[in-house]
Amino acid sequence: MRPIRPGDRGPAVREIRAVLTGLDLLAAGPSAGDEFDADTERAVRAFQQSRGLSVDGRVGAETWRALDAARWRLGARTLYHAVPEPLTGEDVRSLQERLLEMGYDVGRADAVYGVRTSRAVAQFQREMGLKPDGSCGPQTMGTLRRLGRKVVGGRPQWLRESDAIRQAGPALVGRTVVIDPGHGGTDPGVVVPDGPLRWTEADLVHDLASRLEGRLAAAGVRVQLTRGPTPHSCLPDAERAQLANSLGADVFISLHTDGHANPEAEGVATYHYGTGNGVTSATGERLAGLVQREIVARTGLRDCRTHAKTWELLRLTRMPAVRVEVGYLTSPTDRGRLVDPRFRDRLVEAIVAAVQRMYFPIERDVPTGSIDVSALRAAVAAGRRVGAN
Ligand SMILES: [Zn+2]
């Protein structure tokens, strides 16, 4: 085929311009729609350079193939391992980059849907509970999309997320935190009779949530609870996640207490999204670590550590999300603490400190449990380094 070159006109030129416009290399405009003008030539050169092709400003067979591959946007078609001629395109490259970010082995992001990419997709599907057929259709694409920007893995990605948080500034002012008191309505959660009284998880965690709401609101945070103290019915976890998404929450904190037949089971544990197989929400994991460390340091609850889970609540939320099990209601030790309002205040203080640390520059970090939130807030407002006290 004769290269399409400057000065040419016609439907082929119109198509080339459309692809270049889609790649943001050419400004969209009504003029010169089918003319290979100077702007088109510049765009073709830029495109060739970006793809490692020889830069001559003309569209020969090789550049044409590259342009044709570039028109595919991820999600526009189903991707699969085709034999003998594998699918190629920008959509394949985007998919490979996403999978690499999440820690799957696709080799190099070469825009070719080969056997290695297919295997990586199958592994991803298996971990997400989808049919592991190694092809990327609407369902797999939907899962990728729902995971959104929060699911990442690997050090470079972690640093990028941390940078974004750092650039957002240290202040909590104007952030939206959604607090999710677990259970409610017809579902009381863990219930423990205590003489004429009965302690219920749903009531305790709602009390904690309202205390947390008050403390965060005082720090200038917009706070929303997923339920009131006595809802008619129990909102499913998927709907709690949707609510947080629709509110554009920056942070999601779900509060529960644990229960076990053995009264000796006790302690606090924090959960974040992850498959336990390398796929994790880096920011969720960080928030979980902060919450867990602050609570253990400030309350003396036994450290049952942080864990990755694929629960809907954590999977469907698009922001750093954690679920904290603040002690066992069935443990006489933990229960004795939880029913004390002053202890609940200490718990809440620990969670506020953890959220504050999420948005606090890392270089100014101070030892866990060693600062009080008002000192931290004052120091942030003054823009100076805080010393431990
Ligand atoms: Zn619960």
Confidence of residue 316 (pLDDT cuts 50, 70, 90): confident
Between 115-127 and 90-101, two packed helices, what is the crossing angle to 10 degrees? Answer: 50
Q: How far is the CA of 330 from the centre of ligand 1 (A)?
A: 12
List C-alpha distances in Å: 263 to 201, 270, 271, 332: 16, 20, 22, 7
Question: Is there a contact between 282 and 252 (Cβ–Cβ < 8 Å)?
Answer: no
In DSSP terms, 307 is beta-bridged to: 271
What interhelical angle do 341-358 and 373-382 show, nearest 10?
30
- CB-based contacts of 90, cutoff 8 Å, min separation 6: 69, 70, 71, 72, 73, 74, 111
Q: Which tens digit of pLDDT belongs to each residue from 223-280?
A: 999 999 989 999 999 999 999 999 989 899 999 999 999 999 999 999 998 876 656 6
**CA 301/CA 344 separation, integer angstroms:** 12
Give CA–CA dist 13/33, Å, rounded: 8
CA–centroid distance, 331 to ligand 1, in Å, is: 15
Q: Which pTM value belongs to this model? A: 0.56
Give pLDDT tens digits for 152-169: 444 344 444 444 444 454
Position 327 pLDDT exceeds 70: yes
Q: With bands split at pLDDT 50, 70 and 90, how would you rate the model's confidence at 150?
A: very low
* Other beta carbons within 10 Å of 195: 5
> Is residue 84 reached through a cis peptide bond, with omega within 30 degrees of 0 on the bond before it?
yes
3-class secondary-structure state, position 342:
helix
What separation in Å is there between the alpha carbon of 292 and the centre of ligand 1?
17
Residue 342 vs residue 220, higher pLDDT = 342
Can you tell me the distance from the alpha carbon of 86 to that of 35, in angstroms, rounded to the nearest whole number?
33
3-class DSSP state of 386:
coil
Distance 183 CA to ligand 1 centre (A): 6
C-alpha 181 to ligand 1 mean position (Å): 9
Q: What distance in angstroms lies between residue 126's CA and the mean position of ligand 1's atoms? A: 27
